[in-house]
Amino acid sequence: MVPATNGAGLPTGSRLPDGQYEIYATGTDTLANYSSISILVTKKAGVSTRTSATITSAPPL
C-alpha cells in the first residue's frame, strides 16, 4: 500500500500544523469488503483527537 499523506502533504503520523487533518484508509486489497478510515484532527490548543469509522460494503454477488 502506498503511504498516505495528510492535508499538510506530510507522511501520516507527522505532527500537523494547527487546523490540518490526516485521513488514511486501510484494507487487505482493493476489493476488500471492509475498509477503515481514521481521521486525525489537530486542534488550535495543540490537543489531538482521533476518530475512526468502519465502512462496510455488501459482499459481491
Amino acid at 9: G
pLDDT at 58: 52
Positive or negative, the Cα torsion across 27, 32, 34, 40?
positive
Dihedral sign (CA 7, 12, 56, 19): negative
Q: pLDDT tens per residue, the chain (61 residues)? A: 455 555 556 565 656 565 555 555 555 444 444 455 555 555 555 555 555 555 555 555 5
